[in-house]
Amino acid sequence: MEKTQNTIDSKFQKKILGFLDGSLSIEEKSEFEAYIRTHPEFEAQIKKKEDELSFLKNLIPVPLMSKEITESLESEMKLSIFNLLKEEPKSFADRVRNSWEEWVSR
Amino acid sequence: MKRKDFYQLVLPVTDKLYRMAFRLIPDDLQAEQLVVDSLNAYLIKEKKKILAASEYELLSKKDIQISRRLYFKGILRYMGEIGCRRSSQLVDQTKFNQPSDFQSFYGLAPKVRLIISLRYDFQFTVDEIEDIATMPRYEVIEKLHNGRFLLLNDFNQGVQP
pLDDT for residue A77: 95
Question: Are B118 and B132 in contact, with CB atoms under 8 Å apart?
Answer: yes
State which amino acid sits at residue B36. V
Q: Which residues of A touch B35 (CB under 8 A)?
A: 73, 77
pLDDT for residue B74: 96
Cβ contact, residue pair B6, A84, below 8 Å: no
pLDDT tens for the 161 residues of chain B, in order? 888 889 999 999 999 999 999 999 999 999 999 999 999 999 999 998 898 888 888 888 899 999 999 999 999 999 999 999 999 888 766 556 667 788 899 999 999 999 999 999 999 999 999 999 999 999 999 999 999 999 988 777 765 54
- Report d(CA B46, CA B30) in Å as an integer: 24
Q: Which residues of B18-32 are buried (b: 16+ CB within 10 A; e: fewer)?
A: bbbbbbbbbbbebbb
So what's the ipTM on this one? 0.85
Cβ contact, residue pair A85, B6, below 8 Å: yes
pLDDT for residue A6: 67
Q: B102: phi > 0 → left, psi -120 to 50 → alpha, else beta; which?
A: left
Domain residue limits, chain A: 2-59, 67-105
- Report d(CA A61, CA A75) in Å as an integer: 25
Eight-state DSSP code of residue B11: G
Question: Are B75 and B9 in contact, with CB atoms under 8 Å apart?
Answer: no
Of A22, A66, A85, the CB nearest to B125: A22
Class (C level, CATH) for B3-159: mainly alpha
Q: Which residues of B touch A53 (CB under 8 A)?
A: 120, 148
Mean pLDDT of A1-19: 74
Eight-state DSSP code of residue B108: S
Q: Which residues of A touch B137 (CB under 8 A)?
A: 23
Q: Which residues of A touch B116 (CB under 8 A)?
A: 60
Q: Which residues of B touch A86 (CB under 8 A)?
A: 3
pTM score: 0.84
> pLDDT higher for B79 or A48?
B79
- Report d(CA B19, CA B104) in Å as an integer: 17
Cβ contact, residue pair A77, B39, below 8 Å: yes
pLDDT for residue A2: 59
The chain A residue lying nearest B44, using CA atoms, is A84
- Report d(CA B54, CA B2) in Å as an integer: 9
Cβ contact, residue pair A60, B121, below 8 Å: yes
Cβ contact, residue pair B4, A105, below 8 Å: yes
- Report d(CA A35, CA B99) in Å as an integer: 44
Q: What percent of chain A has pLDDT over 90?
A: 24
Question: Are A45 and A16 in contact, with CB atoms under 8 Å apart?
Answer: yes
Q: Is B101 exposed, middle or buried (0-12, 13-18, 19+ CB in 10 A)?
A: exposed
Cβ contact, residue pair B6, A70, below 8 Å: no
Cβ contact, residue pair B121, A87, below 8 Å: no
- Report d(CA B53, CA B41) in Å as an integer: 18
Of A76, A81, A105, the CB nearest to B43: A81
